[in-house]
A and B are shown apart, each in its own frame.
Chain A
Amino acid sequence: MRLRGVILFAALAVSGSAMADPDNYVIGMRGRELTTVGDCVACHTAPGGASFAGGLALATPFGVIMTPNITPDDATGIGRWSKAEFSRAMHEGRGRNGAYLYPAFPYPYFNKVSREDTDAIYDYLRTLAPITNTVNRRTLPFPFSIRTLMAGWNTLFFKPAPFEPDPQRSAEFNRGAYLVQGLGHCGACHTPLNAFGANKPAQFLQGNRIDDWTAPNITNDPQAGLGKWSVEEVVQYLKTGQTRSTIASGPMREVVEDSTSKMSDDDLKAMAVYLKERGAAGRSAPAAIAASDPRMQAGAAIFTDTCGACHARDGTGVEHMFPRLAGDAIIKQADPTTLIRIVLTGVRGAGTDAFPTSPAMPSFGYRLDDRQVAAVVTYIRNSWGNAASAVEAETVNSLRSRVAGPVERSAAQ
């Protein structure tokens, strides 16, 4: 014990310049909570790498961006950054030397975060152990490699504006709005992008396809959004990774595991109140495809053989284990990407302190061909009260080429 204390002290002495005042426990803890809300660790950590040391390859429509090291390492991290420089990065999207950052770093959201909160995050990051990890920050191809282009982008799509609470709404609603619009940067995934990679403000939180996943509509829309969820269900989902009918998976699994499951109940409730009360928007539901349609008949047969044992023949699923397919919002999205992807590759659900099991669905891509996947997905999207567009084999094929291996012919025949 004693020896360990001496070593720790030595480490503090050596890198003291890069550390927060060790007595500043309250600010450090507040900063840690805020860093969790922002889920900074998710992007700033490479697979198998040290937390916050960067190096994750973010695939954007314009090329790969490697996330930077935000540990307080002088040479490769933010060790030499001042509080003001950090705040400028968060609020204006500028690097330490003033260079333009790309909006893969969601400064269009973070500019809503108060200076007090960015300072607390800065203080917390300064308490981390400095990790030396050099990240190649020049991976984008020409012409996107020219950072000054972002000045034009900012002019077009970035209107810095601090968060303005709505005096007509409750403090809880405004707290939720502050978190969702700001540090939570929910819209970065859940809002459609224009051709320049900017979120379309008019369609805020109406759903988006990103990284070959569907980030669903999280407005209060009754068809594809949160319209049928209660505030309590939204909180339960964010806290535990699941509700009676669904389980977080894909990128949202990481958000829940790393971020929302560790947030305070009050903040989660505020976010839920905001999401539920801010209004509904989305496309109107199409009519369900008739059960007599040949694609539906083929899909029903595949479903019975392949899916029904777990998800139940009537699509009701099993609480805490196998999501309910009847009425599920992911299934009813206009964009079927997530549903197809899960059938092709399998997926693992979120595991949290409340529900640690993290149940998995296996991959069926190896034995269902594109036509079969299209049929079963079309069936799921149009059964038990669900209604959504049919899925074509070509759509499956195109996604398969990006996310899964080919079907094993012997198994499919």
Chain B
Amino acid sequence: MARRLPRKDVVIVGLGWTGSILAYELSRTGLDVVAIERGPWRDTATDFNIGTAPDELRYAVRHDIFLRPKQETLTMRNNPSQTALPIRKWGSFLPGNGVGGAGVHWNGQTWRFLPDDFRIRSHMMQRYGDAIFPENHHIQDWPVSYDELEPYYDKFEYLAGISGKAGNIKGQIQPGGNPFEGARDRDYPTPPLKQGYAQGLFTKAATGLGLHPFPRPSANISAAYTNPYGCSMAPCTYCGFCERFGCANYSKASPQTCVLPALVREPTFEARTECEVMKVNLSSDGKTATGVTYVDRSGDEWEQPADVVLLCAYALFNVRLLLLSGIGKPYDPDKNEGVVGRNYAYQTGSGSTAFFEEAKFNPFAAAGSLGVAADDYNSDNFDHGPHGFVGGASITSAHTNGRPIQYHPTPRGTPTWGSQWKKAVASTYQRVTSVGAQGSVMSYRNNYLDLDPTYKDPLGRPLMRMTFDYQDNERKMANYMADRCDEIAKAMGAKQTQVNRLTGPWSVVPYQSTHNTGGAVMGSDPTTSVLNRYLQTWDVSNVFVMGACAFPQNAGYNPTGTVGALTYWSLDGIRKYLKSPGPLVQP
């Protein structure tokens, strides 16, 4: 039986990017805020010490800072006709664990989605007609526009010190930036990272092909920076230990570098780590949350009453908490009804690996978001008419790392071990680079999340079940992009290229992307969304849900920039709610 604790104004579930930003913004106004986090406290000085942080075996291979499948995993299947089985070792995606969440281990690519991404359904309908949409799709417009979110993107970028080059300031196209981006009010807080040899080749080749390359926006920052919260960062040293690692140099934007130093000074803030929230508790009519119940590390159960509950866990786990708590109607694909779990989406990856005769790419001099990109084939920046698919991709030349255990590309046909393999690794390491396309994934009737009927976690709660596969629309798009990448790779002077296409069903085994989106999407219609435009749940007005679970479908970009912008956008809504409780949008 849970013991009841004294009431708090706000309880936050999960202390990553979204949880820490909201905790700081709310506690600095004097509200009593408690953040409940199931993983450990993590801090740059003690956990990502430069003497021990660059340990590829410990962090990249053995997943030191990731969620343990024993804590929570999912069951997975490609379509509803299959029986889902539990993921026992993380592969395709790697959920974070502990304070900082995935904001600790990310690569740091910090994009704004394009204006068309937010109105994709109406825009595509208007330009191409209904026939452009794939079968069984659930594509829907966002309930916010790019222009509405612009000031909030700006806030997050200035919190994180993002390094980049503006392409469009107040409607004026800026040379060297991304000409396709939505108008921004001002440039990035810090200049772009220094690029490597491959990026120089890409820029020249892509420009020659009529494309518009630009340095991609990076949270591995190029220059010392102090953010509006007073937190300071140091310039990136290009060590190439970003994704899967905490940054030891205070160079990668994370809750640790950008928020926590200020947050922990707030006297009305409290963090409880290694405490797992079981569910959000509801009043007897189910219309108000009364707080949460959690289990601490000794296995004792506590009830934490609160006036407002903010779900700030990872996208997937927010959806599961909604399902476990009975907030919102669970999605049922048979009837195509219900909302929680609906519109789960992901990301495509395709491209071309380029082998050069004479080159020295020095892939070890890298950063998680070092690279140049071209957006000519993203969103609706090109004519989709001849291609018959919806969506697009950002095309990139990047070196995120050249680490010894996991980075050793070899040409197809090379043995996977033995002296021939060693020879190929040695001769290829410096002479290989790639051009990649990270693409959008639309939402579909049969790609969704629900509770598994069979498998349970150690606390006895059903695991969440993921039903997902790439659809023809995504394959068509990703393979079109792979060919575009190959054109660029050849124009860069590669002697030999290898096209990497999207084929076969999605597999949970090889790492692909931790960009899991949807499942608790925001929208204007309560029959097709869980959240209103302020990320407030339609059904329980004192529960707000952060994160990429709110995306109605995924765009051809990394999600964190948009997650950050939505957090600040929602904060305005939360403040409005605190002044005058109740639904912020009438359905």
What is the chain A residue whose CB lies nearest that of B232?
Answer: A320
Q: Is A75 an interface residue (CB 8 A)?
A: no
Chain B residues with CB below 8 A from A141, complex form: none
Q: Is B234 an interface residue (CB 8 A)?
A: yes
- Known: A321-B232, A353-B230. Is A310-B265 also a contact (CB below 8 A)? no
Interface residues of B in 219-234 (CB under 8 A from A): 224, 226, 229-234
- Known: A309-B249, A358-B261. Is A321-B49 also a contact (CB below 8 A)? no
B220 to chain A, nearest CB (A): 14
What is the chain A residue whose CB lies nearest that of B257?
Answer: A357
Q: Are A354 and B51 in contact (CB under 8 A)?
A: no
Cα–Cα distance between A131 and B250 once the two chains are bound (Å): 40
B208-247 contact mask (Cβ, 8 Å, vs A): 1 or 0: 0000000000000000101001111111010100000000
Q: Are B232 and A357 in contact (CB under 8 A)?
A: yes
Q: Are B51 and A356 in contact (CB under 8 A)?
A: no
Interface residues of B in 256-315 (CB under 8 A from A): 257, 261-262, 264-265
Q: Are B230 and A356 in contact (CB under 8 A)?
A: yes
Cα–Cα distance between A403 and B261 once the two chains are bound (Å): 27
- Known: A309-B249, A321-B250, A367-B51. Is A356-B234 also a contact (CB below 8 A)? no
Chain B residues with CB below 8 A from A318, complex form: 224, 234-235
Chain A interface residue number, banded: 20 to 34
CB within 8 A of A356: which of B44, B45, B46, B231?
Answer: B231
Q: Are B261 and A357 in contact (CB under 8 A)?
A: yes
Chain B residues with CB below 8 A from A351, complex form: 261, 265
CB within 8 A of A357: which of B51, B231, B235, B237?
Answer: B231
Q: Is A348 an interface residue (CB 8 A)?
A: yes
CB within 8 A of B51: which of A348, A355, A358, A363?
Answer: A363
Cα–Cα distance between A2 and B239 once the two chains are bound (Å): 58
Interface residues of B in 19-75 (CB under 8 A from A): 44-46, 49-51
Chain B residues with CB below 8 A from A366, complex form: 51
CB within 8 A of B45: which of A354, A355, A358?
Answer: A358
Main secondary structure of the interface of B (DSSP, over half): loop
Chain A residues with CB below 8 A from B262, complex form: 356
Q: Are A321 and B237 in contact (CB under 8 A)?
A: no
Chain B residues with CB below 8 A from A356, complex form: 229-231, 261-262, 264-265
A376 to chain B, nearest CB (A): 15
Chain B residues with CB below 8 A from A354, complex form: 230
A321 to chain B, nearest CB (A): 4
Q: Are A359 and B230 in contact (CB under 8 A)?
A: no
Q: Are B224 and A319 in contact (CB under 8 A)?
A: yes
CB within 8 A of A355: which of B226, B239, B249, B250?
Answer: B226
Chain A residues with CB below 8 A from B261, complex form: 351, 356-358
Q: Are A359 and B250 in contact (CB under 8 A)?
A: yes
Interface residues of A in 350-396 (CB under 8 A from B): 351, 353-360, 362-364, 366-367
Chain A CB within 10 Å — which of B224, B230, B239, B262 has the most?
B230
Q: Are B232 and A359 in contact (CB under 8 A)?
A: yes
CB within 8 A of A320: which of B50, B226, B237, B265?
Answer: B226
Cα–Cα distance between A357 and B225 once the two chains are bound (Å): 12
Chain B residues with CB below 8 A from A362, complex form: 45, 49-51, 248
Q: Are A353 and B51 in contact (CB under 8 A)?
A: no
Chain A residues with CB below 8 A from B257, complex form: 357
Cα–Cα distance between A354 and B229 once the two chains are bound (Å): 9
Chain B residues with CB below 8 A from A364, complex form: 51
Chain A residues with CB below 8 A from B44, complex form: 359-360
Q: Are A355 and B49 in contact (CB under 8 A)?
A: no
- Known: A321-B224, A360-B45, A362-B50. Is A353-B232 also a contact (CB below 8 A)? no
Q: Is A237 an interface residue (CB 8 A)?
A: no
Cα–Cα distance between A357 and B237 once the two chains are bound (Å): 19
Q: Is A322 an interface residue (CB 8 A)?
A: yes
A180 to chain B, nearest CB (A): 28
Q: Are A321 and B230 in contact (CB under 8 A)?
A: no
Q: Are B45 and A310 in contact (CB under 8 A)?
A: no
B359 to chain A, nearest CB (A): 26
What is the chain A residue whose CB lies nearest that of B263?
Answer: A356
Cα–Cα distance between A322 and B251 once the two chains are bound (Å): 12
B447-465 contact mask (Cβ, 8 Å, vs A): 1 or 0: 0000000000000000000
Chain A CB within 10 Å — which of B49, B234, B237, B257 has the most?
B234
B191 to chain A, nearest CB (A): 16
What is the chain B residue whose CB lies nearest that of A353?
Answer: B265
Q: Are A355 and B265 in contact (CB under 8 A)?
A: no
Chain B residues with CB below 8 A from A359, complex form: 44-45, 232, 234, 250
Chain B residues with CB below 8 A from A360, complex form: 44-46, 49
Interface residues of A in 334-362 (CB under 8 A from B): 348, 351, 353-360, 362
Cα–Cα distance between A356 and B265 once the two chains are bound (Å): 8
B173 to chain A, nearest CB (A): 33
Chain B residues with CB below 8 A from A357, complex form: 230-232, 250, 257, 261
Chain A residues with CB below 8 A from B46, complex form: 360
Cα–Cα distance between A162 and B51 once the two chains are bound (Å): 52
A2 to chain B, nearest CB (A): 15
Chain A residues with CB below 8 A from B233, complex form: 321
B228 to chain A, nearest CB (A): 12
A258-299 contact mask (Cβ, 8 Å, vs B): 1 or 0: 000000000000000000000000000000000000000000
Chain A residues with CB below 8 A from B235, complex form: 318
B245 to chain A, nearest CB (A): 15
Q: Are A348 and B234 in contact (CB under 8 A)?
A: no
A218 to chain B, nearest CB (A): 25
Chain A residues with CB below 8 A from B51, complex form: 362-364, 366-367
Cα–Cα distance between A396 and B237 once the two chains are bound (Å): 30
Chain A residues with CB below 8 A from B230, complex form: 353-357
What is the chain B residue whose CB lies nearest that of A358?
Answer: B261
What is the chain A residue whose CB lies nearest that of B259?
Answer: A356
Chain A residues with CB below 8 A from B49, complex form: 360, 362
Cα–Cα distance between A320 and B234 once the two chains are bound (Å): 8
Q: Are B45 and A320 in contact (CB under 8 A)?
A: no
What is the chain B residue whose CB lies nearest that of A363?
Answer: B51
Cα–Cα distance between A155 and B230 once the two chains are bound (Å): 50
Chain A residues with CB below 8 A from B264, complex form: 356
Cα–Cα distance between A66 and B548 once the two chains are bound (Å): 55
Chain B CB within 10 Å — which of A310, A322, A355, A356 has the most?
A356
Interface residues of A in 180-201 (CB under 8 A from B): none
Cα–Cα distance between A357 and B258 once the two chains are bound (Å): 9
CB within 8 A of A322: which of B229, B234, B265?
Answer: B234
What is the chain A residue whose CB lies nearest that of B226?
Answer: A320
Chain A residues with CB below 8 A from B226, complex form: 320, 355
Cα–Cα distance between A100 and B264 once the two chains are bound (Å): 42
Cα–Cα distance between A321 and B225 once the two chains are bound (Å): 10
What is the chain B residue whose CB lies nearest that of A367?
Answer: B51
B53 to chain A, nearest CB (A): 9
Cα–Cα distance between A384 and B330 once the two chains are bound (Å): 66
- Known: A354-B230, A356-B231, A357-B231. Is A348-B45 also a contact (CB below 8 A)? yes
Cα–Cα distance between A320 and B250 once the two chains are bound (Å): 11
Chain B CB within 10 Å — which of A322, A357, A363 has the most?
A357
What is the chain B residue whose CB lies nearest that of A348?
Answer: B45
Chain A CB within 10 Å — which of B49, B50, B232 has the most?
B232
Cα–Cα distance between A348 and B237 once the two chains are bound (Å): 20
6 smallest A-B Cβ distances: which pairs? Answer: A360-B45, A320-B232, A356-B261, A321-B234, A362-B49, A318-B234
Sample of 20 A–B contacts (CB below 8 Å): A309-B50, A310-B249, A318-B234, A320-B224, A320-B226, A321-B233, A322-B234, A353-B230, A353-B265, A356-B231, A356-B261, A357-B230, A357-B232, A357-B250, A359-B44, A359-B45, A362-B45, A362-B49, A362-B50, A367-B51
The interface of chain A, by Cβ under 8 A from chain B, is 309-310, 318-322, 348, 351, 353-360, 362-364, 366-367
The interface of chain B, by Cβ under 8 A from chain A, is 44-46, 49-51, 224, 226, 229-235, 237, 239, 248-250, 257, 261-262, 264-265
Q: A353-B230, A356-B229 are in contact. List 6 more A-B contacts (CB 8 A).
A: A310-B237, A318-B234, A321-B224, A355-B230, A362-B49, A362-B50
